[in-house]
């Protein structure tokens, strides 16, 4: 193990990354279990009708799967710069993973009640909590260069912080609009995907740096 794996209190960066990868893999697999196959023996028109009925579940699954991918990549990018860990940081990561583990429930609820204000708000709270937890991971690691290299460019720190906060802000805005029209909330949630998928300045910095 390289010097980046040496940590305070016996905790290792590699163990946190392994736990994170395992949780993400499990949650992304569990998501599909929320999709039920149509019953056997249906006519062609009956099957088409069942697929139409399943479409909210399928769309919620696809959206949540991509969201999980976005957050996994974000966490991976953060750990490119994080060189040490401590016990508090471990629990901050566990908090982040707790929000990830809730995604299958909020996704199933949204698929079952796609225009319900309650379901839309619960999903939005899940998105906002996940984004805020990821922000907390980065903030704790970079505050006073606690767990990152002392010469890490402050511009990178600020870029990552600002970009990570966009998700929670949009999600909370969507929750607010759910009191008026849940369709606006859903559109706002969907807009997060193209925003986070497109390369940003922080991605350019990440590609330009060395990789562990």
pLDDT, one tens digit per residue, over 30-39 is 999 888 877 7
Q: For the residues 92-106, what does the mean pLDDT come to? A: 98
The pLDDT tens digits for 108-159 are 999 999 999 999 999 999 999 999 999 999 999 999 999 999 999 999 999 9
Q: Is the pLDDT of residue 40 over 90?
A: no
Burial per residue of 57-91, b for 16 or more beta-carbon CB atoms within 10 angstroms, e otherwise: beebbebbbebbebbbebbebbbebbbbbbeebbe
Q: Are 89 and 141 in contact (CB under 8 A)?
A: yes
Element (H, E) at 31: helix 13-31
pLDDT-wise least confident of 66-70, 71-75, 200-204: 200-204
Structure tokens at 141: 């690691």
Model confidence at 210: pLDDT above 80: no
Instruction: DSSP letter for 148, please.
Output: B
pTM: 0.87
Token pair for 171: 């999600």
Model confidence at 208, pLDDT cuts 50, 70, 90, reads low
Q: Among 80, 94, 68, which Cα is nearest to 11's? A: 94
145 backbone φψ class: left, alpha, beta (φ>0; ψ -120 to 50): left
pLDDT at 28: 96
Q: Which residue has the higher pLDDT, 88 or 204?
A: 88
Q: What distance in Å separates the CA atoms of residue 11 and residue 31, rounded to the nearest whole number?
A: 30
Say if CB 161 and CB 127 are below 8 A apart.
no
Q: Average pLDDT, stretch 25-34?
A: 94
Query: What pLDDT was estimated at residue 5?
Result: 46
């Amino acid at each position: 193990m390289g010097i980046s794996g040496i940590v305070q209190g016996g905790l290792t960066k590699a163990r946190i990354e392994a736990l994170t990868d395992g949780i993400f893999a499990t949650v992304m697999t569990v998501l599909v279990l929320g999709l039920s196959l149509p019953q056997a023996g249906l006519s062609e028109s009956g099957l088409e009708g069942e697929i139409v009925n399943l479409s909210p579940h399928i769309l919620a699954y696809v959206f949540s799967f991509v969201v999980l991918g976005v957050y996994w990549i974000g966490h991976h990018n953060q750990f490119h710069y994080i060189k040490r860990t401590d016990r508090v940081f471990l629990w901050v990561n566990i908090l982040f993973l707790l929000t990830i583990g809730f995604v299958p429930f909020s996704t199933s609820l949204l698929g079952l009640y796609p225009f319900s204000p309650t379901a839309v708000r619960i999903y939005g709270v899940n998105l906002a909590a996940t984004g805020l937890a990821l922000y907390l991971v980065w903030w704790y690691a970079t505050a006073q260069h606690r767990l990152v290299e002392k010469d890490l460019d402050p511009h990178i720190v600020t870029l990552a912080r600002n970009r990570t906060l966009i998700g929670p802000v949009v999600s909370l805005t969507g929750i607010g609009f759910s009191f008026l029209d849940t369709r606006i909330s859903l559109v706002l949630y969907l807009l997060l995907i193209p925003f986070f998928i497109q390369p940003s300045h922080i991605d350019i910095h990440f590609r330009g740096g060395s990789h562990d």
